[in-house]
A and B are shown apart, each in its own frame.
Chain A
Amino acid sequence: MKILWFAWLRTRVGTAAEEVTPPADVDTVATLLDWLATRSPGHAEALAQRTVVRVAVNQAYAKPDQPVRSGDEIAIFPPVTGG
Chain B
Amino acid sequence: MAIRVQREDFDVGAELSGLTEGRTDIGAITSFVGLVRDFGAANAGGMTLEHYPGMTEKELAAVEREAHARWKLSATLIVHRFGRLEPGDRIVLCAAASPHREAAFEACHFLIDWLKTRAPFWKLEDTPQGQKWVEARADDDAAAQKWETRR
Contact = CB atoms under 8 A, between A and B. Distances in A.
A83 B56 CA distance: 12
B55 A80 contact: no
Interface residues of A, number: 17
B109 interface: no
A7 B58 contact: no
B135 A83 contact: no
B92 A6 contact: no
Given A80-B120, A82-B80, A83-B92, A4 B133 contact: no
A21 interface: no
A13 to B, nearest CB: 14
- Of residues B118, B122, B135, B136, which shows the largest number of chain A Cβ atoms within 10 Å of its Cβ? B122
B52 A82 contact: no
B115 A6 contact: no
Contacts of B55: 56, 59-60, 75
A27 B120 CA distance: 24
B3 interface: no
Nearest to B32: A83
B123 A82 contact: yes
Interface of A: 4, 6-8, 11, 56, 59-61, 75, 77-83
16 contacts: A8-B133, A60-B58, A61-B118, A75-B52, A77-B122, A78-B133, A79-B117, A79-B135, A80-B116, A80-B118, A81-B121, A81-B136, A82-B51, A82-B116, A83-B115, A83-B119
